[in-house]
Amino acid sequence: MSAYKQQLVDHLAGEVTTVCHCWRLTRKDGSAAGYTDHDRPLSVDGMAFKPESGFSASEARGTLGLAVDTVDIEGALSSADISEEDIAAGLYDGAKIETILVNWCQPEDFAVLRTATIGKIKRSDQRFVAELESLMHTLDQPNGRYVSRTCDAELGDARCRFVLDLPGFRGNGHVTAKEDGDTFLVAGLEAFQPGWFSHGTLSWSTGARAGRSEQIVDHGRHVEGMAIALRPMGGPPVEIGDAFVVHAGCDKNFATCKGKFSNSVNFQGFPHLPGNDAAYGYVVDGGQFDGSPIVP
């Protein structure tokens, strides 16, 4: 059965066609937007598709087999829709894009040509080029679990089961000064020992980055006061006075899970996994072979 409506098939069979392409972009956070290479706004499948983005696409190709097909789409960096700061912050990483063929004279006649996800994005001269990867790329992704000594769950997720909003594991503060790069002096976290929020998350409450969450690389005490270093992500500048909420971090080790969070029963790793030295070891005089864990 064809995915094309009969009206669209009949139109494509004619001598003259009035078709264009539309792209429906859905980010991982659920935000959706529509763009088209037509010169007028279109309403297709209940969504508005805007022409001012200047979207264009490279040649599309589909191959048999398990190879990953790619298509490039190009558009202008728009402060209203797609900004360089949002791309740098990773808001469009892994976003889903549906390519739609539309009869712009009768927008109710359309067909979804392909569904893809955004791979690499290049930015230059106020333009961007996004590489769209076909659904075959999911077959290249690792599945299942790795056997390792460290935990492979995210702190607070369904597998970890730890409640991050418990007293002592959540803090509020604001920026008091900016240091080099993504390191800031902060106030409001003096009651927590240094390193408590390392590997944790910071969510901005106010300022140009309000609503964004970022990874904390280090939390420590400097000469001038308490400081937090964030993983470089780009985006709008942080200003003095910007408020945030932080949650405690975990380095994925069993000792941290047990001592810091008292959550060892939910540890999603294999802390007693022997290393190569044990795997290639042999019995020697004076060794301990009572069946106790090799790794404490």
Q: How many domains is the chain built from?
A: 2
Q: What is the domain range of residue 44?
A: 6-140
* Residue 151 in domain: no
pLDDT at 150: 92
Task: Say how far apart CA 286 and CA 284 lie, in whole Å.
Answer: 6
* Residue 265 in domain: no
Other Cβ atoms within 10 Å of 244 Cβ, number = 27
Task: Report residues of the chain scoring pLDDT below 70.
Answer: 1-3, 52-80, 124-126, 135-142, 277-279, 281, 289, 291-296
The answer to whether 213 touches 232, Cβ cutoff 8 Å, is: no
pLDDT at 60: 47
For residue range 105-120, list pLDDT tens digits in order.
Answer: 999 999 998 888 887 7
- Give the CATH number of the domain where residue 53 resides: 2.30.110
pLDDT at 56: 58
Amino acid in the structure at residue 117 = T
b (16+ CB within 10 A) / e for 255-287:
ebbeebbebeeebbbbbeeeeeeeeeeeeeeee
Task: Say how far apart CA 254 and CA 152 lie, in whole Å.
Answer: 11
The answer to whether 256 touches 269, Cβ cutoff 8 Å, is: no
* Residue 159 in domain: no
* Residue 156 in domain: no
* Residue 217 in domain: yes
User: Which residue, chain included where needed, has tokens 């930015």?
Assistant: 123
Tokens of 229: 């270093």
Whether 114 and 24 share a structural domain:
yes
Residue 115 bridge partners (DSSP): 98
Which candidate, 4, 25, 12, places its Cα nearest to that of 110?
4
Whether 23 and 130 share a structural domain:
yes
Is the Cα dihedral 104, 110, 113, 115 positive or negative?
positive
